[in-house]
Amino acid sequence: MFLTYLRRELTRRSKQTLFIAFGLAVAIGLVMVVNGAAGGIKTAQDKVLSNLYGIGTDVSITKTDTSFSGGPHQFDVGGKTGGTGTQAFSRSFLTVQPGTGTLTSAYVQKVSAVAGVSQVVSTLKLDSLNFSGQLPTFNQSTGSSTTGSTPIGGSTSLNQGGQQAQGTQSRTQQGTETGSQPAPTFGGGQGRGGFDGNGGSRFNINRMTVEGISTAAGANKIGPLSTVVVTSGRALKPADAGSDVAVLDSTYASGAALKLGSTLTISATKFTVVGIAKSTSTAATTSSNAYIPLDVAQTLSGKTGAVTNVYVSAKSADVIPSLKTAIKKLDSVATVNTSSDLASTVTGSLSTASSVVNNVGTWLSMAVLAGAFLIAILFTMSGVTRRTREFGTLKALGWKSSRVVRQVIGESLVTSILGGIFGIVLGYGGIALVNALSPSLSGSLQAATGFGGGDRGGFGGPPGIRQTTASVVNVALNASVSPNILVLAFAFALLGGLLAGVFGGFRAAKLSPAQALRSVA
Amino acid sequence: MSDIKLAYQLVGVSKVFHQKKKEIKALDLVNVEIAANDFVSIQGPTGGGKSTLLQMLGLLDNPTNGAIELDGEFLNELSEAQLGELRAKKIGFVFQNYNLIPTLSAIENVETALVPLGIDKQERHDLALKALEKVSLADRANHLPSELSGGQQQRVAIARALVKSPKIILADEPTGNLDESTRDEIVSVLEKLWKEEGITLIVVTHDSAVAKRAKKHLYIKDGQVSLKA
Ligand SMILES: Nc1ncnc2c1ncn2[C@@H]1O[C@H](COP(=O)(O)OP(=O)(O)O)[C@@H](O)[C@H]1O
Ligand SMILES: [Mg+2]
């Protein structure tokens, strides 16, 4: 009789059954979608982080250059007195990115010795600047510069660090260079002398990021090379130490028309391209344009023994926090980030989506879930009230309260199972929809974390340069259903049914048969 | 009198309801004996206490005061569950509004009376069908209450009352919602059962045409029961 009665009730009162089931279905469908999207975002964040910091890196260490003075790099353009026409010049710099401090090899040694550290890889990230062109001979006394000319700061200095440069930099395009990448020019202060444009002064500024990397075996396990695959040629190997060889990012290489065997000039030194590499994610370029042996980078930049980035992997995930504390003690000025610290530094639509899904989505699904529970409870209770006479009659016939309660809970549970099934179908539908739309999210890093160049440099490169230094990663949001959430979703539905059944059953149990029969009216 | 077997013996039974600080004495020191296998009518004005009395007889509610004896057994000490068991075994109910379960078919409604007795499915079905035959409704066994006329519904309710072969059938205004010819039909069904099944039949009614068929007549007004000639 239990099953017959239950079936009859649910089918003959199908509207109420479907309403309650549908309410639960919407709620758990939403829970699934939100959870799936959150999982997708987590995956996307991991992707972004691993692109920017490397897979397997548990702690990364950088240092901000606190002593940074912002003083100008002055250079002599070599203008000789007298004469007319132009003269060729070329200058190059290989420097640590402005605002970035360096760490010593002794420090790296100490980090390696910290308990719980599995591997340490350190790199020296550098900005390479090649500055070449034709300069006219000029008359120092000429007044203000003209539009269309190429003014250079009064002392013909390239202000590479000062914040103030940002405001005053101007960019002009030479007619001959229209259509190519605009060469930036720099003005340190208008009217304080400068070139007159008579001779058609022309510069090429070649800026690229160069990363000195350990050639030791296994150095690609963590750090920037962990997300890189060599597509042609080879990776750096131990024997490359001290050699002028480079592995290039494929995007940079094709942009600069370089290929295997090409020669590349970095800081007036000719490097042979031995490999082309690209990011393992299709969405991103690698973190630097060129990778050269660490010792070569240190020598060329005059920073013997120095590194800018230290990547650490931990022996196990649970030692990471203590590892971080221990490393912090070694140098209180260094910035020590764990991968979870870094997740919070990702900005862009990815972080917006993350907060929307994790905050709004979670609250919304909780609210809808609570609403669905409430609907289920209220409808079940009002259903019991509506059936007062029915249950009173059954009790008059000698049905025990427990049997009546069992009936109510049974109906409610079956309704919630239906709701669970609908809900899972809805959830899959919603997730399929999210994946069909497959919104593309971009993640970028706040410069405040201290690496990736940062916005602190006064050097205004052409738009797009920062992008090629790989601080923005685009990933498509891909929501998925985990078996856990299926179980959880179903458990939520059952919980809703159980709650409703218990409330309804409690009301049914309290009915006295006499009252029940009197409620005839 | 003492050699006659009693179905009920009520001694000093009172039932007081409290409503808005007012006390309503629905039953006021009622002393009644009902013999086994009797056919008793209960009449009286609305609000006189007829239904309340029937609820006491049907073990649906406990009296405020007094003692009720059913088949020689005092009910005062019995728990809710024990009263339920007694109802399931011994007492069949027929209500003015039929009180059928709207989602169950006629035969399933009849079967509900056998559920608390722990009778297995097949036997339940057979007994229910036999009960429907007795009220000439076997051909409507699979109809829903909503597909039956008022008289037919009341006959299903009677089948439900008699299917467990009870000692007593209590009917509260069983013809209250029916037209005259249906009323006669239902009374005839009840009378026939009383004769053939050897049950005690107690019928509350407004209708003197129904009351006339009974062998003993009780009149209740303001909670006071009197015997009518
Ligand atoms: N549950 C209750 N609460 C309050 N008053 C009640 C209750 N049940 C019955 N009464 C009152 O008791 C009196 C008798 O009612 P009832 O037995 O239903 O009369 P009858 O069936 O003769 O019309 C009436 O005054 C009625 O209002
Ligand atoms: Mg009444």
Structure tokens given for A181? 């990448």
Structure tokens given for A109? 């040694």
- β partners of residue A445: A346
Interface test with B, best of A7, A9, A393, A395 (most B CBs within 10 A): A393
Cβ of B51 less than 6 Å from ligand 1? yes
Whether the per-residue pLDDT at A283 is higher than 70: the answer is no
Whose C-alpha lies nearest to ligand 1, atom 11? B26
Q: Which ligand has its closest atom nearest to the C-alpha of B172?
A: 2
**H or E stretch covering B191:** helix B180-197
Whether A389 sits inside 8 A of B97 (CB atoms) is yes
User: Phi, psi (5° rounding) for residue B180?
Assistant: -60, -45
Q: Measured between CB atoms, which of A1, A398, A520 is closest to B85?
A: A398
- HEC states along B86-146? HHHHHEEEECCCCCCCCCCCHHHHHHHCCHHHCCCHHHHHHHHHHHHHHCCCHHHCCCCHH
Residue B58 and residue B204: Cα distance in Å, rounded? Answer: 12
pLDDT digits (tens, 9 = 90+) for B99-122: 999 999 999 999 999 999 999 999
Mark A203-228 as b/e (b = at least 16 C-beta within 10 Å): bebbbbbbbbbbbeeebbbbbbbbbb
Q: Is some CB atom of chain B closer than 8 A to the CB atom of A67?
A: no
pTM of the model: 0.66
Whether B60 sits inside 8 A of A520 (CB atoms) is no
Q: Measured between CB atoms, which of B51, B88, B103 is closest to A397?
A: B88
What is the band of A411 on the pLDDT scale with cuts at 50, 70, 90?
very high
Whether A4 sits inside 8 A of B104 (CB atoms) is yes
Report yes or no: A250 and A259 within 8 Å, Cβ to Cβ: no
Mean pLDDT of chain A: 76
* Residue A378 CB burial class (10 angstroms; 0-12, 13-18, ≥19): middle
Whether B103 sits inside 8 A of A9 (CB atoms) is yes
Q: How far is A361 from chain B (nearest CA, A)?
A: 41
Report yes or no: A205 and A184 within 8 Å, Cβ to Cβ: yes
Residue A219 and residue A236: Cα distance in Å, rounded? Answer: 10
Q: What is the pLDDT of residue A182?
A: 39
* Residue type present at position A193: G
In chain B, residues with a C-beta closer than 8 Å to the C-beta of A4 are: 104, 108
* Residue type present at position A164: Q
Report yes or no: B28 and B14 within 8 Å, Cβ to Cβ: yes
Q: Measured between CB atoms, which of A397, A514, A518 is closest to B113?
A: A397
Lowest mean pLDDT among A107-116, A229-238, A331-340, B37-46: A331-340
Q: How far is B128 from chain A (nearest CA, A)?
A: 13
* Helices marked H in A387-479: 388-396, 401-437, 465-468
Q: Which ligand has its closest atom nearest to the C-alpha of B95?
A: 2
Positive or negative CA dihedral for B103, B107, B108, B110? positive
Best of B51, B96, B204 for a ligand 1 pocket test (most atoms within 8 Å of beta carbon): B51
Residue A520 and residue B173: Cα distance in Å, rounded? Answer: 13
* Residue type present at position A98: P
Whether complex ipTM tops 0.90: yes
End-to-end CA distance of chain B: 18
Report yes or no: B115 and B83 within 8 Å, Cβ to Cβ: no
Q: What is the pLDDT of residue A429?
A: 94
Q: How far is B40 from chain A (nearest CA, A)?
A: 21
Report yes or no: A323 and A337 within 8 Å, Cβ to Cβ: no
Lowest mean pLDDT among A28-37, A43-52, A400-409: A43-52
In this structure, are strands B224-228 and A73-74 parallel, antiparallel, or unpaired?
unpaired
Positive or negative CA dihedral for A503, A506, A510, A516? positive
Structural domains in chain B plus CATH codes? 6-228 (3.40.50.300)
Q: Is some CB atom of chain A closer than 8 A to the CB atom of B109?
A: no
Whether B84 sits inside 8 A of A517 (CB atoms) is no
Who has greater pLDDT, A517 or A172? A517
Q: Measured between CB atoms, which of B81, B95, B115 is closest to A1?
A: B115
Interface test with A, best of B99, B124, B162 (most A CBs within 10 A): B99
Q: Which ligand has its closest atom nearest to the C-alpha of B225?
A: 1
Whether A398 sits inside 8 A of B58 (CB atoms) is no
Structure tokens given for A292? 């050269």
CA dist list (Å): B1 to A320, B34, B36, B68? 96, 11, 12, 18
* Residue type present at position A383: G
pLDDT digits (tens, 9 = 90+) for A171-216: 333 333 333 333 444 433 333 334 444 455 666 777 888 999 988 8
Positive or negative CA dihedral for A135, A141, A147, A153? positive
